[in-house]
Amino acid sequence: MKEINNICHITTVHPRYDIRIFHKQARSLAINKKNRVRLLVADEFGEEEIDNVLIKSIGRPNGGRIRRVIFFSCKMLKAAKRENCDVYHIHDPELYWLSIPLKLIGRKVILDLHEDLPSQLLSKPYLNVFFKRFFWSMAKIYESIIFRFANHIVTATPHIRDINFKKNRNITCISNFPIATEFKPLDSFVEPKSNREVCYTGAITSIRGVGYLIDAVTEYEDNWVLNLAGPIGDKEIEKKLNKALSKSNRIKYWGQVSRSEMKKIFQRSSIGFVPFLKVPNHVNAVPNKLFEYMSSGIPIICSDFEYWRQVITESKTGLLVDPTNISEIRSAVTKLLSDKDLMDEMGKNGLLAVKTMYNWENESNHLFKVYDLLLK
């Protein structure tokens, strides 16, 4: 590596404290005193430095999505050039094109694929079939051109790595495994929980199956409570949630919470849900929540997708369900809450799986290798 390595992470979509960008990647790189790490974001907050990561904002986007994509991506390019860094790590599809002008001035570029963009477009509920296929085709063309300009591509899942290998062979999967100690209980040996609370944390959207969780509460007279925490993502689920809150005292909506507040929700809950619906962008995803629940020592009830089935079966950390079948969801909850020994065993298995395999402390080594390769 050089004596001083200037590194810049870029996003106009994600918040400044994004778990993958800031908490995991930027902070991990900043531990090395040879690295000067900056994070450029687009929000209304000012400049600050946290854990040797200097965060700067180009301002909050206003207007519609098209204005953000065009105007703010150009504004971000100007800000990025001013930083005069050695490596630019770009996190948003709408900013991937910045790799071309940055490469032309001799900079190295990493593109970070958090999602499979073409599959994500096929999953948009507000697009009809024609526009889904049209935008899918455009995304494929866009990626096939832009990816060839990147010095390296980083992906959040093995599936995204594998389908993009031909577009750029310098590609590495860096999974969103949790920071092992972040949600870990005070005692490494989890005692069976006596409360009857379950939780779902993350974006509150219909496509993530939250509506069926709500139905599983409101349509049965059980005595367990559903904790929901996260931003509401669509009007349909907002309407359903508000109606359920007015009728039932078995649902508690915590709003959008901090990481420390999320830990408190995990501590009071006996089960964690990942009930994503079967759409193209979900079946090959590796959601943070799957492993965050493990790291907090609570068993999981999740959708029965192939990769998720492999993780849950091998680690023995939960139950698989059809996320659209509220009777099946209810039966899974009842089975776990009525068997504290089983919950305790699954909780301990989750902690062990995170300690030995699914943790950021191990996964970050892949990130360091990518940067060592580019900065040598």
Is there a single domain that holds both residue 162 and residue 81? yes
Supply the range of the domain harboring residue 76: 5-177+359-375
CATH number of the domain within which 273 lies: 3.40.50.2000
* Residues 275-329: tens digit of each pLDDT: 999 988 788 888 889 999 999 999 999 999 998 999 999 999 999 999 999 999 9
Is there a single domain that holds both residue 26 and residue 110? yes
CA distance 175 to 156: 5
CA distance 79 to 298: 43
Is there a single domain that holds both residue 220 and residue 169? no
Number of domains in the chain: 2
pTM for the model: 0.88
Residue appearing with tokens 């810049």: 8
pLDDT band at 345 (very low <50, low <70, confident <90, very high): very high
What separation in angstroms does the CA of 19 have from each of 8, 41, 120, 291, 337?
Answer: 16, 14, 20, 13, 31
Is there a single domain that holds both residue 133 and residue 70? yes
Is there a single domain that holds both residue 87 and residue 236? no
The answer to whether position 237 is within a domain reads: yes
Is there a single domain that holds both residue 240 and residue 162? no
The answer to whether position 99 is within a domain reads: yes
The answer to whether position 347 is within a domain reads: yes
Is there a single domain that holds both residue 251 and residue 346? yes
Q: Is the pLDDT of residue 167 over 90?
A: no
Interacting residues of 235 by C-beta distance below 8 A, sequence separation 6+:
none
The answer to whether position 104 is within a domain reads: yes
Is there a single domain that holds both residue 59 and residue 166? yes
Mean pLDDT of the chain: 91
Q: Is the pLDDT of residue 192 over 50?
A: no
Is there a single domain that holds both residue 101 and residue 40? yes
Is there a single domain that holds both residue 168 and residue 309? no
Question: Alpha carbon 132 to chain centroid distance?
Answer: 23
Residue 254 burial (10 A CB sphere; 0-12, 13-18, 19+): middle
The answer to whether position 184 is within a domain reads: no
Is there a single domain that holds both residue 24 and residue 54? yes
* Residues 96-116: tens digit of each pLDDT: 999 999 999 999 999 999 998
Is there a single domain that holds both residue 47 and residue 70? yes
- Least confident range from 45-49, 125-129, 251-255, 317-321: namely 125-129
Residue 47 burial (10 A CB sphere; 0-12, 13-18, 19+): exposed
